[in-house]
Amino acid sequence: MNNYNDYVKHSKKITDVNMSMAVLGWDQETKMPKNGSRFRAQQLSTLAEISHELSTNKEYGNLLNNLNSDDSLNSDQRRNISLSLKAFNKSKKYKSEFIIEESKLVSNAFQKWRLAKEKNDFSIFESSLTKLVDLRIKECEILGYENHPYDALLNQYEPGLTTNDVDKIFSNVKEFLVPFIKRISKSNKINDSFYYQKYSHNKQWDFGIELLKKMEYNFDSGRQDLSAHPFSTHFSPEDTRVTTRVDEDNLSEMIWSCIHEGGHALYEQGILSENYGLPLGETISLGIHESQSRLWENNVGRSLEFWKYNYESLKSIFPNQLSDVTVDDFYKAANNVKPSLIRTNADELTYHLHVLIRYEIEKALIEGKIMVKDLPEIWNLKYNEYLGVEVPSDALGVLQDIHWSHGNFGYFPTYTIGSFYAAQFFNQAKIENPNLLKEIEDGNNKNLLNWLRKNIHNNGKRLDADKLCEKISGEKLNFKYFKEYVIEKYSKIYSL
Amino acid sequence: MNNYNDYVKHSKKITDVNMSMAVLGWDQETKMPKNGSRFRAQQLSTLAEISHELSTNKEYGNLLNNLNSDDSLNSDQRRNISLSLKAFNKSKKYKSEFIIEESKLVSNAFQKWRLAKEKNDFSIFESSLTKLVDLRIKECEILGYENHPYDALLNQYEPGLTTNDVDKIFSNVKEFLVPFIKRISKSNKINDSFYYQKYSHNKQWDFGIELLKKMEYNFDSGRQDLSAHPFSTHFSPEDTRVTTRVDEDNLSEMIWSCIHEGGHALYEQGILSENYGLPLGETISLGIHESQSRLWENNVGRSLEFWKYNYESLKSIFPNQLSDVTVDDFYKAANNVKPSLIRTNADELTYHLHVLIRYEIEKALIEGKIMVKDLPEIWNLKYNEYLGVEVPSDALGVLQDIHWSHGNFGYFPTYTIGSFYAAQFFNQAKIENPNLLKEIEDGNNKNLLNWLRKNIHNNGKRLDADKLCEKISGEKLNFKYFKEYVIEKYSKIYSL
């Protein structure tokens, strides 16, 4: 390996292996028969090992270091090299033993978590989770950090984001959202009971597909399937898939999970194929990814304009269930703010309190200030404090999320960051296209998608998240856009 | 790497990569959206490269050579080492350049073949096919052979089988089958027109699933999907999948493709999981694999006993279409012998003439006795000679099969070998269990499957094909079993 082309070739090889893992993962979650799991885990672990070998190849590292000081490269090439070198240096920090230990711990923890949730017994999961937390504490030291060990974990998902940043963000959340939600809870209740009638699986499914098409999701470069937990994945910009789940007793589940995952998938479909295998062919961060799903799910998909266009179609599919429901009723119910137990079912305001609770717990765990064995108690106290709800069981409490069982710490804050980016981006899109809401009302999402393509998707990792935000909106992430969006929208809905 | 455990670890790693390729291949044929093909081809090619690197790893080769003379190993371990060393030595013969050239040629040839078939124009495919034939001629020299270059190709699919063996087999075919089929063609015609009514897709699908369950196919370790060409594949004995296709205007298509692929899958489900990643965890050869699919498809699935049990259920699903059809009518129609154009739709007798034609052509191509450009003419002449049919177009003639476009030469004869093994094995199973046909008539296939498990499936590659056949039936592959089966069955059906 001695030139830029050799770098491209090797980088594509790593990507091919990673994308193959994604195919195996997709299959595992959507199609794999029950008994397939044992050898699938082994196959995924082997591919992960190969990917790590390729990513830490010495010759590749030398090439990256040489190219990093090669002035003949253009700016895109330099960006690719710089990011690949960063990834190489990070991969090098991990010894194979760590990767193997992690893979074993996660595999075990996942099984224990599932059982614990099923049996509603946190103690089954406790020892595995303790080991995972210890591993992450060790990992913070391996990766290094400037101010706070949790920074190292945040950086895995949101490069550049610090614990200090997240603290500031959540102090805004607390300062504004907590009293705002209290005001809402004192005003008139919204009736959303019509969601919880019988809605046939197949009709819901067809409507979900229709929604994805309306969003300009390209089914020639993707597909939708069912899975226990909705997710999106991609194997190239030309094969970017979504999954959903359908609850016949709850219409909202399918609708907003379709739109949410569709938003993720549109980001991946907007990556330029010519950059496949290179950093410029990758999305920026989980926070920016979440900004795309949340923008579609909330700013678009929970707007009155969106439903002014789409509600008639939904009503024609379910005429009996929705006979007495106006589009305004439907819109309000889609934005019903109500403190609840489960994060994934939360409205777009209380959602961030769910994230806040997880963030505070993760930080304290990594700091060593709390113990895993005390988590159920801590969890329940915080749910009472921030959301005013009593947690009736660990299954509906501390065991509800899959993340910790997968060893993902530092992930949750990106959900909140993403929503705030979404508000800032959507605000900017409206400024640049004053007709935007009218277009959405007319069922035309093309200009919005083109705006996202041009400003975000097509650029891949050309800019870091904060630089991208500045370029698009003239300033760094600013909570005020989310705050303004919330005040405007919910003041009307709740006549505050 | 320095001991047997290191060997097991490395061999499993190679298998994990190969099984990952199988997952990507399955997805490609069943689920992948249209635009996914470009990067999928690249991902598969990267995995193939990695598999080849691992398979030809020098340290691994040294270990195999050392272990090959290690007397402390038990017989199973020695068998594994011996076969892995053979595979290693074969892989070593290929330079990376050959693998890359082959992958490019095949990718190109497949596209050209599809277009040529669509446009019914052989000339579109001619140049690609010529290059592939030249590559295979080169490959015969790379691999080496004793008597005939085509031996080298046969050996890829059926280790130990020679051109001389195949010549003998087909001389039996010609001597017995050609006049026998002529006698049939002069006797009373069978009415199979009821197959070609409207049979709804979903009902056919459900019946196919029912058939697979009756065969004891385990859906916890597999699944069925739709694909353009039915196939079976496996990612471990615990995840072994089948596909089928459903033609609403032809009931027979789905029924016997389900049973055929089910037969393949039962073989893979019967491999012992504890041997995953080792030769003892692999099936023996394509011929033995085909013996399993053909045994279920023909010896069981086209028997009167099988339909005496299953026909009532089919009739209850399609009462109108089958109201006047007795089980005897149905059985006879399932065994209607009628020379035709398309191999995959042929009955179990004329089928072997289709294979014979392909074998003669392949052999002559490898010998350099005929030219690719003359194939359409040669094809049509042979179809006239052996089957007495006029080929109306290249699409229905020389372009019908996918095999050559994939660069597979030496593959077709295994179909015929498989049928003959099937007859010999089934005969033996009946000798050892005189109640077998009665059990099938009672819908009980458990003992048959157990017999196959014990005598074939569970043993993996413990024995070569010819040794296995001797162990099971006391003699090598003998055409007389197929001949006796055919005479007994068809003399009754056609009152010969």
Q: For residues A488 and A253, what is the distance between their CA atoms, to the nearest angstrom?
A: 25
pLDDT at B407: 93
Residue with tokens 């292996």: A17
Domain that residue B53 falls in = 4-149
Chain A residues in contact with B222 by the CB 8 A cut-off are 33
pLDDT at B53: 95
Residue A337, Cβ density class (10 Å: 0-12 exposed, 13-18 middle, ≥19 buried): buried
SS3 state of residue A45 = helix
> Nearest-CA residue of chain A relative to B49?
A13
pLDDT at A264: 98
pLDDT at A421: 98
Residue with tokens 């904060």: A466
Q: Does B491 share its domain with B395? A: yes
For residues A17 and A50, is the Cβ–Cβ distance under 8 A?
yes
Positive or negative torsion for Cα B137, B140, B142, B146: negative
CB contact under 8 A, A47 and B20: yes
Cβ neighbour number for residue A327 with a 10 Å cutoff? 17
pLDDT at A265: 98
Query: What does chain B come to in residues?
Result: 496
Partner residue facing B235 (CB), from A39, A239, A276: A39
Q: For residues A209 and A476, what is the distance between their CA atoms, to the nearest angstrom?
A: 35
Q: CA dist A281 to A10, A55, A58, A237, Å? A: 15, 17, 23, 9
Residues whose CB is less than 8 angstroms from the CB of residue A482 and which lie 6 or more positions away in sequence, other chains included: A419, A420, A423, A424
Residue A337 above 90 pLDDT?
yes
Q: Does A315 share its domain with A456? A: yes
Residue A312, Cβ density class (10 Å: 0-12 exposed, 13-18 middle, ≥19 buried): exposed
Positive or negative torsion for Cα A75, A288, A169, A139: negative
SS3 state of residue A235 = strand
Positive or negative torsion for Cα A340, A343, A344, A350: positive
pLDDT at A373: 97
Element (H, E) at B209: helix B201-214
Last residue of a domain, one of A147, A166, A187: A147
For residues B17 and A46, is the Cβ–Cβ distance under 8 A?
yes
- Going by their DSSP bridges, the two strands A239-244 and A232-236 should be labelled as antiparallel
For residues B461 and B267, is the Cβ–Cβ distance under 8 A?
no
Q: Tell me which amino acid residue B142 is.
A: I
Structure tokens at A241: 């898939």
**DSSP string computed for B281-326:** GS---HHHHHHHHHIIIIIITTSHHHHHHHHHHHHHHSTTTTTT--
Q: How confident is the model at residue B99 (pLDDT cuts 50, 70, 90)?
A: confident
Residue B271 above 90 pLDDT?
yes
Mean pLDDT throughout B80-102? 93
pLDDT tens figures, B406-456 = 999 999 999 999 999 999 999 999 999 999 999 999 999 999 999 999 999
Tell me which residue of B337, B333, B358 sits closest to B347, measured CA to CA: B337
Virtual torsion, Cα A262, B24, B132, A276, nearest 10 deg: 50
Residue B215 above 90 pLDDT?
yes
For residues A445 and A216, is the Cβ–Cβ distance under 8 A?
yes
Chain A residues in contact with B239 by the CB 8 A cut-off are 32-33, 35-36, 39-40
For residues A298 and A480, is the Cβ–Cβ distance under 8 A?
no
Q: How confident is the model at residue B119 (pLDDT cuts 50, 70, 90)?
A: very high
Q: Does A333 share its domain with A384? A: yes
CB contact under 8 A, A39 and B222: no
Q: Does A139 share its domain with A157? A: no
Q: Tell me which amino acid residue B174 is.
A: K
First and final CA of chain A: distance in angstroms? 65
Mean pLDDT throughout A268-288? 98
Q: Does A32 share its domain with A178? A: no
Last residue of a domain, one of A147, A166, A192: A147
Q: Does A294 share its domain with A382? A: yes
Q: Does A25 share its domain with A39? A: yes
Q: For residues A155 and A133, what is the distance between their CA atoms, to the nearest angstrom?
A: 17
Buried b (16+ CB within 10 A) or exposed e, B101-129: ebbebbbebbebbeebbeeeebebbbebb
H helix intervals, A395-461: 413-432, 436-441, 446-455
Cβ neighbour number for residue B495 with a 10 Å cutoff? 8
Number of inter-chain CB pairs under 8 A, A vs B: 116
Torsions phi, psi for A234 (to 5 deg)? -150, 150
SS3 state of residue B16 = helix
SS3 state of residue B33 = coil
Mean pLDDT throughout B151-174? 96
DSSP A196: G
> Nearest-CA residue of chain A relative to B30?
A31
Q: Does A192 share its domain with A142? A: no
pLDDT at A107: 84
For residues A168 and A473, is the Cβ–Cβ distance under 8 A?
no
Coarse DSSP helix, strand, coil percentages of chain A, rounded to the nearest 5 percent: 70, 5, 30
**A222 touching B (Cβ < 8 Å):** yes
Tell me which residue of B479, B471, B431, B436 sits closest to B454, measured CA to CA: B471
Q: For residues A489 and A486, what is the distance between their CA atoms, to the nearest angstrom?
A: 5
Q: For residues B224 and B265, what is the distance between their CA atoms, to the nearest angstrom?
A: 10
More confident residue, B325 or B228: B325
For residues B213 and B259, is the Cβ–Cβ distance under 8 A?
no
CB contact under 8 A, A47 and B17: yes
Cβ neighbour number for residue A4 with a 10 Å cutoff? 16
Q: Does A181 share its domain with A132? A: no
pLDDT tens figures, B9-31 = 999 999 999 999 999 999 999 99
Residue-averaged pLDDT of chain B: 96
Mean pLDDT throughout A331-340? 96
Q: CA dist A133 to A48, A102, A143, Å? A: 21, 11, 15
Residue tagged active-site, from A261, A290, A297, A348 = A261
Give B 24-53 residues with CB within 8 A of chain A.
24, 26-27, 31-36, 38-40, 42-43, 46-47, 49-50
Structure tokens at A84: 């690949």
Q: What is the CA radius of gyration of chain B?
A: 23
Q: How confident is the model at residue A111 (pLDDT cuts 50, 70, 90)?
A: confident
Residue with tokens 């103690």: A123
CA distance A211 to chain B (A): 18
**B13 touching A (Cβ < 8 Å):** yes
Chain A residues in contact with B39 by the CB 8 A cut-off are 19, 235-236, 238-239, 273, 276
Query: What does chain A come to in residues?
Result: 496
pLDDT at B231: 95
Q: What ipTM, to 2 d.p.?
A: 0.95
pLDDT tens figures, A112-137 = 999 999 999 999 999 999 999 999 99
Torsions phi, psi for B245 (to 5 deg)? -130, 150
Give B 345-374 residues with CB within 8 A of chain A.
none
**DSSP string computed for A132-167:** HHHHHHHHHHHH--SS-HHHHHHHHHSTT--HHHHH
Output the domain CATH number for residue A156.
Answer: 1.10.1370.30
Positive or negative torsion for Cα A385, A389, A393, A398: negative
Long-range contacts of A357-365 (CB under 8 A, 24+ apart): A357/A382, A357/A383, A357/A386, A358/A401, A358/A403, A358/A412, A359/A166, A359/A170, A359/A412, A359/A413, A362/A150, A362/A153, A362/A409, A362/A410, A362/A412, A363/A150, A363/A163, A365/A133, A365/A409
Q: Does A444 share its domain with A496? A: yes
pLDDT at A2: 86
**B272 touching A (Cβ < 8 Å):** no
pLDDT at A99: 84
Positive or negative torsion for Cα A367, A372, A373, A377: positive
Partner residue facing A238 (CB), from B35, B219, B236: B35
For residues A121 and A98, is the Cβ–Cβ distance under 8 A?
no
pLDDT tens figures, B355-369 = 999 999 999 999 999
pLDDT at A167: 98
Domains contained in chain A, number: 2
The overall longest dimension of chain A from CA atoms, in Å, is 70
Q: For residues A330 and B1, what is the distance between their CA atoms, to the nearest angstrom?
A: 66
pLDDT tens figures, A71-107 = 999 999 999 999 999 999 999 999 888 888 898 898 8
Residue A279, Cβ density class (10 Å: 0-12 exposed, 13-18 middle, ≥19 buried): buried
Q: Does A200 share its domain with A346? A: yes
DSSP A177: I
The question of whether B261 is a catalytic residue gets the answer yes
Q: Does A26 share its domain with A121? A: yes
Q: For residues B486 and B496, what is the distance between their CA atoms, to the nearest angstrom?
A: 12
Chain B residues in contact with A34 by the CB 8 A cut-off are 220-221
pLDDT at B104: 84
Last residue of a domain, one of A96, A115, A147: A147
- Going by their DSSP bridges, the two strands A239-244 and A224-226 should be labelled as parallel
DSSP A240: E
DSSP A318: S
Residues whose CB is less than 8 angstroms from the CB of residue B366 and which lie 6 or more positions away in sequence, other chains included: B133, B136, B137, B140, B149, B150, B153, B409
Structure tokens at A299: 């700013």
For residues A378 and A206, is the Cβ–Cβ distance under 8 A?
no
pLDDT at B462: 98
Partner residue facing A33 (CB), from B12, B43, B222: B222
